[in-house]
A and B are shown apart, each in its own frame.
Chain A
Amino acid sequence: MSAAVITYGGTLLLTSSESFLLTLSGKENEMVHQLMHSMGRASASAQVLTGIGALALGILALVGIAPTIMILVALLATGTSMLLRSSFASGLLMDLLRL
Chain B
Amino acid sequence: MRTVIMKNRLLAGAAILALTAAAPDNFDTNTQIGPNPVLPPLQQYLFPPMHLAPVVGWKSSETPNAAPGLKIQAYATGLQHPRSVYTLPNGDVLVVESKSPNLDPVTRPKTIVMKWIESKVTSDGAGAGSNRITLLRDSHGTGKPDTQTVFIDHLNSPFGVALVGNDLYVADTDAILHFPYTEGQTSITAQPTILTPLPGGPIDHHWTKSLVANPDGSKLYVGVGSNSNIAENGMIAEVGRAAIWEVDRASGAHRIFASGLRNPNGLAVEPQTHALWTVVNERDELGPDLVPDYMTSVKDGGFYGWPYSYFGQHIDPRVKPQRPDLVAAAIVPDYALRSHVAPLGLVFDTGNLLPSQYSGGAFVGEHGSWDRPTLNGYKVVFVPFSNGKPNGKAQDAITGFLDDKGNAHGRPVAVTLDKAGALLIADDVGNTVWRVTPDNQSQANK
Report if A and B associate in a common complex. Answer: no
Chain A contacts to B: CB under 8 angstroms:
none
Chain B contacts to A: CB under 8 angstroms:
none
